[in-house]
Structures are given as C-alpha cells and as structure tokens.
Structure 1
Amino acid sequence: MRIVVLGAGVVGTAAAYWLARDGHEVTVLERHAEAAQGTSYSNAGLVSPGDATAWASPDALRTFFKGLYRRDLGIRVRLQADPYFYRWTLRFLRECTTARMRASTLVKLKLALHSRDCINRIEDEIGIDYDQRKRGIVYFFRTQKSLDTGADNYRFLGQNGFPIEIVDRKRLAEVEPGLADAADKIAGGVYSPIDQTGDSRLFATRLAAHVTEKLGVAFRFGTIVEGLDIEGDRVAAVRTSAGPVAADAVVLSLGPESGVFARRHGIDLPVYPVKGYTVTMPLTDPSKGPTMGGADEDSLIGYSRLGNRLRMSSTAEFTGFDRSHKPRDFATIFRTARDLFPGATDETRAEMWAGLRPMTPSSVPVIGQARYRNLYLNTGHGHLGWTTAAGSGQFLADLVAGRSPEIDPAGLRYAG
C-alpha cells in the first residue's frame, strides 16, 4: 500500500520504519527541515517503563488546581480562552480516580515495556547509535514522607511484573555513584534496572536516514499538511502546501497539533498540548555527573546522561500552543543540576528549549483506525512519547497489516 505518515517526530518516524519493513510504500510529510524538530527535539531522554503511572490521579487533581495560582510547582495551569482546554480538563478530572489511574497505568506499562524491547530491536537490526545507556534509572525522593507516599505507585508496577528495588540513600549511592555527593539530601528511592536512556532526536534523525536509504521511505520536509481529501468512507489524498499526495492509507502523528487537525475532519480526538522545558549542558567533569538516568520526584525533574552531555527536563505547563520561554523558566533546572551534580557541567554553554507534548486525559496514547477506513491515529503519547514511540509504531503496523498484535490490544486500540 501507499501509506502517508503525517509527522516526522520520533513517533511518526518509528511508524514509518515498521510500515516500510512490512513492504509498504511509505511517504512521511513534515513541516520542518528535518526529522525530530518539534516535540521530539528534546526531552528528559528517559526510556522509562518505570514512569508508566498515569498522570491523572487523586494527587494530580490537587496539584492541578494548585497549579492555577502557584508558579513553583511542576504542574502549572494558565487559564485561557480555548473552549477545548476546558473540555479536555473535564475529561482529565474524570480520570482522577484510583481505579482509572491504575487501569491506565497498566495499559501504559504494557506498551512501554513492549516499546523498550522494540527500541532495542531496531538498535540491534540497524546498528543505530543515539547516545544510549542501559544501566537503569533511579527515581528518588527528598523526604521520608514523599518516599513513603511515592513508592506506592512503583510497588503497584512491581506487583504487575515490572522489576524494581526500593532503596535507601546508601544503596542509592551504590547503584548511582553520581549522586554520592547529594546522598544526604535524599531519603531514598526506587531503582529500575531495566529502564534505559538515549537521545530521541538522534534516534529519529538516524532512523530516518536509514529508512530512506535502505527501505525507500520518502521524507518530504518543508511540507505543511493542510487537510484531507475525503471520498465516501476513505481518505483519497492529503492536501499539502506542495499539492495533494495520494494515499491508500494515512497515519496521523502530528504531535500536539493532532487534536486540532482531527477535529477539522469530524474526529473528537482528546489530545491537548502540555509544555515542557529542557536544558542540555556539556559535562566538563564527567566523573561528577550521573552514570544513568534519574528523576527527582519531589521537584519533578528528569535527567539523562547523553554521551558527554547532561539533559534535564521539568514542568508540565498548560498554556495552549505557546512555545516561548524566558530565562526564569529554567531556574529550577539549573539549581537542581548544581545541587545534585556540583561541578559537573558548564552552564554558560547550556541549550535551553521549550516544547509541547501531545497529552490525552488518561495518559494513554491513541492508536488505531478512526472514522475513515484508511485513516489511522498514532498520537497522544504525552510525557512518555520517547519511551512508547517504537512500540506504538510496531503495534500500528500490526493493525494496518490485519495481523494479531504482538501485545494484547485491550485498552490500547482506539475505540472512537
């Protein structure tokens, strides 16, 4: 089939890989000049099934409302004129029960574990290098109270097949010697030995180069997707700034713009943008930096060591499609870097970035056929986009091929 993928982020590029691997003629449309220049450009770098707990929860409900008036929290909410923001918020609030949180968490965990394996399969098959490290991730807490409360979510993952180790500060410093100087500021945490890290932009751009050369995928960069030409119950072509592109099937992976685009074509897709901030700094003294990925759970900051760089990410800000940023937006990240890894980085050469994550109310991505018999969705991956991209692409390829998926589709296949 001629399949057109809308979007060349890590999600769309991974889908293109699996679809082309099945023998389809794949074209990817992307407004930027190369792959992974939007949402996938920067993130915490964590490939983290251990972070599969759904955002919507009773605790998140309280934090969401605090975010309306406090700027020092990891979640910030700016009231806006967009009516769809309020509709999305109502859906999010409905998900903030323990039962719904756990149901969504199990679906995310299933996909995240599958996706981690898919990333490693791609790495093994094509020899891709993306500054990957497979040493695990530590999720740590500053106080005993937050450790006692926060560890419950990880215990739930552990009870459902995810290997974890609850560690005190001494054991934490053993598994992550990079935190030895900050151990007295940490009560303890959770060590996830099967989690890993890597640069999603490097992964996507190098995967795009591979599928272009080896699998014949055509990337049309600098091409704006304007709409779909519908004939009866199918999409006949994609309208673009460079003219129509005919298709036998279309995959929608437009990141934070997915919801707006889908609603133009009668699909009520619950995807809304959530802004995140990242800082990438060179490690001037690698011996003082982390040896694996980590998450400071009290400040909601995740980080990875990417080669000789330290990447740190923070904040979930509901601010519409605003991608702007100011120096003060990164103050907490810089302060945390100095606190955890003193003397490790050069802040004067830091790259500061802000981008939008496509979030669903349940935190579960939207994958599957929608409204038209040849239109497929693969979007809404939220804060686990890098973690779940490869697995969702493989799952989508199974659906397009009409074969039994490699993983149980319960709770994952889009129901409309």
Structure 2
Amino acid sequence: MKIVVLGAGVVGTAAAYYLARDGHEVTVVERHPAPANGTSYSNAGFVSPGDAYAWASPGALKTFLKSLYKPELGIKIRPSLDPAFLSWTWRFLQQCTQARANANTDVKLRLALYSRDCINEITSETGIDFDERRKGIVYFYRSQQSLDAGVEHFSYIAERGLEIEAVDRKRLFEIEPGLADSGDRIAGGIYSPMDQTGDSRLFTTRLADYASERHGAKFLYDTSVEGLEFSGDRVSAVKTAKGSIPCDAAVLSMGPESGVFARTLGLDLPIYPVKGYTATMELKNPDNGPTMGSVDEERYVVFTRLGNRIRLASTAEFAGFDRSHKPADFERMFRTARELFPGAIDESKAECWAGLRPMMPNSVPVIGKTRYGNLYFDTGHGHLGWTLACGSGKFLSDIVAGRKPDIDPQGLLPTV
C-alpha cells in the first residue's frame, strides 16, 4: 500500500520504519526541515517504563492546587478560557478516580515494557548509535518520609512486571556515583534497572536515514500538511503546501497539533499541549556529573547522561501552544544541578529549549484505525513519547497488516 505518515517526530518515524519494513510504500510529510525538530528534539532522554503512571489520579488535583503557591514543584498552569483547555481539563478530572488511574497506568506500562524491547531490537537490527545507556534510572528522594511514600507508590507497577529496588543513600551512591557529592541532601531512592536512556533526536534522525536507505521510505521536509482528500469515507490523498499525495492509507502522528488537525476532520481527539523545558550542555569533565538517568522526585527535575553531555529537564506547563522560554525558566534546574553535581555544569554554555507534549486526558496514546476506514492514529503519547514510540509503531504496523498485535490492544484503539 501507499501510506502517508503525517509527522516525522520519533513516533511518526518509528511508524514509518515498521510500515516500510513491511513492504509498504511510505511517504512521511514533515513541516520542519529535518526529523525530530518538534517535541522529539530535546526531551528528557528517558526510555522509562518506571514513569508509566497516569498523570490523572486522586492526588492530581491536590498537586495542581499546590503548584499555584509552590513553584518548585515544576507544575505551572496559565489560567485560560480556551474551550479546548476547559474541555481537556474536565475530561482529565473524570480520569482522576483510583480505578481509572490504575486502568490507565496498566495500559501505559504494558506498552512501555513492550516498546523498550522494540527499541532494543531496532538498535540491534540497525546498529544506529544515539548515546544509549542501559544502566537503569534512579528516582531519588530527599527525606525518609518521601522515600517511604515513593516505595509504596512504585509497588503498584512493581507488582505488574517492573523490576525495582528500594535503596538507601549508600546503595544509591554505588549505583549512581555521580550523586555522591550531594551529601545528605538525599535519603535514598528507587532503582529501576529496566529503564534506560538515549537521545531521541539522534535516534529519530538515524532511524529516518535507515528507513530511507534500506526500506525505501521517502521523507518530505519543509512540507506542511493542509488537509486530507476523501473518496466516500476513505482518505484518497494528503493535501500539502506542495501538492497532493495520493495514498491508500494515512497515519496521523503530528504530536501536539494532532488534536487540532483531527477536529478539522470532525474527529474528537482530546490532545492538549503541555510544555516542558530542557537544558543540554557538555560536561566540564567527562568524569563529572551523572553516569545514568536520575530524577529528583521532590523537585521534579530530571538528569540524563548523553555521551559527554548532561541534559536537565523539568516542568509541566499548561500554556497552550506557546513554545517561548526565558532564562528564569531554567534557573531552578540549574540550581538543583549545581547542588547535586557540584562542578559538573556550565549553564552559560547550555542549549535551552522548550517543547510541547501531546497529552491525552488519560495519559494513554491512541493507536489504530479511525471511523475513516484507512485513516490511522498514532499519537497522544504525552510525556512518554520517546519511551512508547517504537512499541506504538510496531503495534500500528500489525493493525495495518491485519496481524494480531504482540500485546493486548485494550485501551489503545481509537473510539472515533
């Protein structure tokens, strides 16, 4: 089949790779001049089933209210009368029961564990390098009380297949010696050896090249999607600024813009953009800083080792499609990094960036066929796009081919 994928972020590129590997004639349309120039450009760098909890939960409303007077939590809400924001918020609140939180977490964890295996299989098959480290991730806490709460929190996904180890300060510093200079600021943590890290932009760029060179996928950059053409209830072509592309099927993977585009087609896809910030810089000395991925669970700051670079990530900000940033947005990250990794960073040389996560109210992506018989969704991956991308792409390719997916599809398929 001739399949057009809308979007060349990590999700769209992974889907294109699997579809092209299946023998389809794949064209990827991307408005940016290269792959992974949007949300995938500079995320936290985590491939983390350990972060599979749904955002919507009984404690979410309390956390959001607390964020109004505790900016160190890293959650910012810019009040808005935007109908899309109000609708999304209402749906989010409906997902905040314990039963829904558990069900949504179960789906995310199932896909995350599968996707991690898919990423590793792709790495083995293609040989692409993306500053990958399979050392696990540590989630650390600053007090015994918060550590005890963290152990209880992680027990749910531990009971469902994620290997974890609760560690005291001494054991934590053995696992991540980069934190040893933080002294008594840390009480202990949770070590998830099944998690891993890597640069999603490098991965996406090199996978796009591989899919093009080895499987014939065609990537059209600097090309905006303007709409779809239909024949009855089926897509017949994708309209772009450079002309129409006839197709037998189309895949919507446009990140935070997916919801807006879907509404032009009369499809209810409740995706809302949630902004995150990252800062990436060379380590002052390659022996300094973190050796793996870690999370300060009380300040909501992420640290990732990417080759000789360190990446800091933080914040969930509800501000519509605003991608702007200013120096003050990164100061909390830099201050925390200086405390925990003294002498490791030079923030004056950091590449600072802000991007938008495509969040569904239930934190679960939507993958599969819509009510238009040959239009597929592969979108809504939220803060776990890098983690879930390859599993989603393989799952989608199975759906398109009519094969039984490797994992239970419940909770993933579109309902529109």
Same fold (TM over 0.5): yes
- Is 1:196 the counterpart of 2:196? The answer is yes
Q: Provide the rounded CA distance (Å) in 2 between the counterparts of 1:151 and 1:85.
A: 33
TM-score (normalizing by structure 2): 0.98
* Counterpart position of 2:156: 156
Q: Secondary structure of 1:276's match?
A: strand
Q: Match for residue 244 of structure 2?
A: 244
Q: After superposition, what is the alpha-carbon deviation per residue over 1:182-222, rounded to whole angstroms, capped at 9, x for unaligned?
A: 14111111001111000000000001111111111000000
In the alignment, is the contact (CA less than 8 A) between 1:53 and 1:153 conserved in 2? no
Structure 1 length-normalised TM: 0.98
Output the amino acid matched with 1:25.
E
Does the Cα contact within 8 Å between 2:73 and 2:298 map onto a contact in 1?
no
Q: Which moved more, 1:238-247 or 1:62-71?
A: 62-71
Matched ranges for 1:13-412 at <5 A: 13-68=13-68, 70-412=70-412
Shift of 1:380: 0.5
Q: How many residues align?
A: 416
Query: Structure 2 CA distance, aligned partners of 1:387 and 1:129?
Result: 17
Query: Does the 8 Å CA contact 1:75/1:315 hold for their aligned counterparts?
Result: yes
Are the aligned partners of 2:366 and 2:378 in contact in 1 as well (CA < 8 Å)?
A: yes
Moved more, 97-106 or 34-43: 97-106
**For the residues of structure 2 that align with 1:95 and 1:41, how far apart are their CA atoms?**
29
* Post-superposition CA distance 1:27-79 (Å, at most 9, x none): 00000000000000001101100110111112221122334565443211111
Partner amino acid, structure 2, of 1:96: C
SS at match of 1:266: coil
Deviations 1:228-275 (A, max 9, x none): 112211011111100111110000000000000001101000111000
Residue 201 of structure 2: SS of its match in structure 1? helix
Structure 1 residue runs of 5 or longer lacking an equivalent are none
Q: Which moved more, 1:287-296 or 1:251-260?
A: 287-296
| 272-281 vs 230-239, greater mean Cα deviation | 230-239
Instruction: Please say if residues 150 and 190 of structure 2, whose CA atoms lie closer than 8 Å, have aligned partners that are also in contact.
Output: no
Q: Aligned to 2:378, what secondary structure does the other structure show?
A: strand
CA RMSD of aligned residues (A): 1.0
* Secondary structure, counterpart of 2:243 in structure 1: coil
CA distance in 1, matches of 2:153, 2:56: 13
Residue identity opposite 2:84 in structure 1:
Y
Seq. identity, %: 66
CA shift for structure 1 position 153: 2.3
Q: Is the 1:46–1:303 Cα contact (8 Å) retained in structure 2?
A: no
Give the Cα–Cα distance (whole angstroms) in 1 for the partners of residues 370 and 364 of structure 2: 16
How far off is 1:298 after superposition?
0.5
Contact 2:14/2:393 (8 A) holds in 1: yes
Q: C-alpha offsets along residues 369-398 of structure 1, whole Å, 9 cap, x if unaligned?
A: 112000000000010000000100000000
- Deviating more after overlay: 55-64 vs 359-368: 55-64
Mapped to 1, the partners of 2:280 and 2:265 lie a distance apart of 38
